[in-house]
């Protein structure tokens, strides 16, 4: 585990946000077809 919890949580939240935005953009493109 990471030494600093807040820093670890920030990195995880950033990863989730990036994946979520990519998923939403993919869904919007799929809906456009």
Q: What is the pLDDT along the chain (33 residues), one digit of tens a residue?
A: 556 777 778 889 999 999 999 999 998 887 776
Q: What is the predicted pLDDT for the residue at 2?
A: 55
Q: What is the predicted pLDDT for the residue at 15?
A: 94
How far CA 15 is from CA of 27, 30, 33, in Å, comes to: 18, 22, 28
Identify the domain containing residue 4 by its residue range: 1-33
Biggest CA–CA distance in the chain, Å, is 46
Q: What is the predicted pLDDT for the residue at 16?
A: 94
Q: What is the predicted pLDDT for the residue at 6?
A: 76
């Amino acid at each position: 585990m990471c030494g600093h919890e807040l820093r670890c949580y920030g990195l995880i939240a950033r990863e989730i946000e990036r994946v979520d935005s990519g998923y939403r953009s993919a869904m919007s493109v799929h809906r456009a077809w």
